[in-house]
Chains A and B, each alone.
Chain A
Amino acid sequence: MSHRLGQKLGWNALGLVVFAVMVFPVYWMISTAFKTNDEINGSVTPGWVPRHPTLQNFSRVTHKAYFWTDVKNTVIVVLVAISIAVVFAFLAAVALEKYRFTGRKFFLVLLIGVQMLPGIGLIIPLYILLAHVPLLHLNLVNHLSGLIVVYISAVLPFSVWTLRGFLMGIPKELEEAAMVDGSSRLGAFFRILLPLVAPGLVAVSVFAFIVSWNEYVFARLLLNDGSTQTITVWLANYIGGEKALDWGGLMAASTLIALPVVGFFLLVQRRIAFGLTAGAVRG
């Protein structure tokens, strides 16, 4: 018994070490957020804990032009992009998993192929496309909708593939059980499958969230007005703007920005519990 416990303790100690190593830069960011700029720039040796913790940095950045506007913009972009992308991807994943149709293999390879395109090579033509959207005669440059569409297309391939992978992992017996229950094929599919593929939906949503939240190159390229930019662009401007980089402010802003992502993940995680599969198969 004690050997087992010893092993368990060992694993948990390792877990804590991994935690410490991974989180160190984040810790550095947060602790710097509470330091005064004089302490940050003036000290010759790195200070592990802020000597005179202050909230000055936080108040300074939240009052800077467009901070909250850009946070709002980012939230809009991300939520719309995720919602649409996850729905579209799930539908396509179901089609790929359940049905044998001509062009299925081609579609799969196409999804991967699309990911092989170097994004920065597409900067100019995408800009041209969004500046003169055909049929709709819109200029979507400098508008969030242009960016949203780009982000959706960026996360779709991975999302489709991942959800398909999760669908494949679901034992056939469950589907059959659902169909015997009397629902139509598709109805059973959605009602039974949704909870089972939940972990996959979580992973894909979080992935889409993070990609959109952190994306830099296209947001920078397509959004010019301070009022329509996303928070990554705001941060980049903050870094490149001031003559002397305001480290404290930058770290404070970054800390604030990281919070919604953590919040989102915790929220999604709690609503869709892992391990539902186990119960279903045993039952």
Chain B
Amino acid sequence: MRYRVLAVVAAAIALSVVAARSATAGSTTSHTLTVWLQVDAQNGWPQVVAAANQAFEANHNGWNVNVQYQSWGDHLQKFDATIAANDTPDVIEMGNTEMTKYMAAGAFADITADKGQFDNAKYWLGGLKKSSMFNGKLYGVPYYAGSRLVTFRTDLFKKAGIKKAPASLAKFENDLAKVKAHDHTKGFTPFYMAGTDWYSALSFVYDYGGSIATFSHGKWHGTLASKKSVAGLNAYKKFFRATSPKSASKLNEANPAPYTVFSQNRTSAIFGPGWFSCCTGKKFTKVTGQFVMPSHKAGKSMPGFLGGSDLAVPEQSNSQAQARAWMADFTSTANEKALQAVGNIPNATNLLNGTVNDRAAKASWFVPTAKHWVDVENGNILRTMLGQILTGQLSVKKAAQTADANIAYTLNQS
């Protein structure tokens, strides 16, 4: 009996090994380039990816591209595991605010010498280029950007007698009050913003000339408690309280998504990335419009957060030349134009063509390029501050001072 048992056990183990061996056997005949892109590409512009793969494989006989799609939530944790195991992909898409820490850690290959390989490198968008550089060297290729816009209900604005986009923040607040006067649906607010949506909220701070942090005398200093920043935060608080629902004071923009609130007819305007217009609901597709958020100074635009992605080659990759070639194919002028066609901002100024999206990109702000910036983001320091301000838990100045202390502590770590 026990021999039968042993035999079964041994067979099971043997079978697993054979299975594992055969499963890994197929990959030795040709070369594979492993690329990590975010799922945004898989759903939004698969044809761009396909074009890049085709162009690359045509020029590189015996190579095939394996694109593995990742999610923003955990792609960095997975990347870390591959670094530790020396098993990294050959190309990786990074969010522009994620780049600095990894560049400082030496995770990426230096591609300064190969800058000429990439289309329109001379005209790369300032914000994206900055995020790809560290200590004067280039480590990433700008991929695409996104700015912030107001998405609104053209029919409701028309009904309230608003004929053109507001030229100032004060005018916008008035317009929203007009919309509210015309609509008495329960739970309706003319504007919906997640209170802790710092990408949108800090636009107010930069609009007043404030900032998040500055580097001086060898250290980072939080600057949210400066006079200008506090003015911006106060403007935000005033605007939020006048136009958005109180229940959103501590909510973040992931849940509920502003466009969901829009599609439920609970609001007439939202502030967020340009692609919000995709998801405003079948009922309202025809009455969805966009304009750039106005500054508190009449006639100017409020600076919008310039989000975006860069592509980089992990330092441990064994196929760096091929990786660079693929990145060049992927960010070719034709591909960037295709990205633009589906609502993104292309990576170079010479490709901008005056859409509302591109106009928004002209007035933009970006986060401090500090090694530990992404830790400030993940530590939700800004979100906590905004929640405290909007619920009245702390005064604007106190909340800002607390945030400054936390930001300085985080950014000044070794």
Contact between A and B in the complex (any CB pair below 8 Å) = yes
Residue total for B at the interface (Cβ-Cβ under 8 A)? 50
B350 contacts the other chain (CB 8 A): no
Closest Cβ of chain A to B42, distance in Å, is: 7
User: 8 Å CB contacts to A: which residues of B5-45?
Assistant: 5, 8-9, 12, 16-17, 19-21, 23-24, 36, 39-40, 42-44
B81 contacts the other chain (CB 8 A): yes
B113 contacts the other chain (CB 8 A): no
Whether B85 pairs with A131 at a CB distance below 8 angstroms is: yes
B215 contacts the other chain (CB 8 A): no
User: 8 Å CB contacts to B: which residues of A65-97?
Assistant: 80, 83-84, 87-88, 91
CA distance A187 to B5 in the complex (A): 11
Whether A128 pairs with B16 at a CB distance below 8 angstroms is: no
CA distance A221 to B74 in the complex (A): 9
A242 partner residues in chain B, CB cutoff 8 A? 43
A149 partner residues in chain B, CB cutoff 8 A? 16
A47 contacts the other chain (CB 8 A): no
Instruction: Identify which of A91, A132, A220, A225 contacts B74 (C-beta below 8 A).
Output: A220
A226 partner residues in chain B, CB cutoff 8 A? 68-69
Residue total for A at the interface (Cβ-Cβ under 8 A)? 45
A244 contacts the other chain (CB 8 A): yes
A181 contacts the other chain (CB 8 A): no
A38 partner residues in chain B, CB cutoff 8 A? 281-283
CA distance A197 to B71 in the complex (A): 44
Instruction: Identify which of A41, A123, A141, A241 contacts B260 (C-beta below 8 A).
Output: A41
A91 partner residues in chain B, CB cutoff 8 A? 5, 9
Whether B283 pairs with A42 at a CB distance below 8 angstroms is: yes
A42-B263, A44-B187 known; A240 vs B84 contact (CB < 8 Å): no
Which residues of A are at the interface with B, using a C-beta cutoff of 8 A? 38, 41-44, 80, 83-84, 87-88, 91, 123-124, 127-128, 131-132, 136, 138-141, 143-146, 148-149, 184, 186-187, 190, 220-221, 224-226, 236-237, 240-245
15 contacts between A and B (CB under 8 A): A44-B266, A91-B5, A123-B81, A127-B85, A128-B81, A128-B84, A187-B1, A221-B74, A221-B77, A221-B81, A225-B68, A226-B68, A226-B69, A237-B39, A243-B278
Please name the 8 residue pairs, one residue from A and one from B, whose CB atoms are nearest each other, closest first: A244-B279, A241-B39, A240-B71, A131-B85, A127-B81, A145-B20, A224-B68, A128-B85
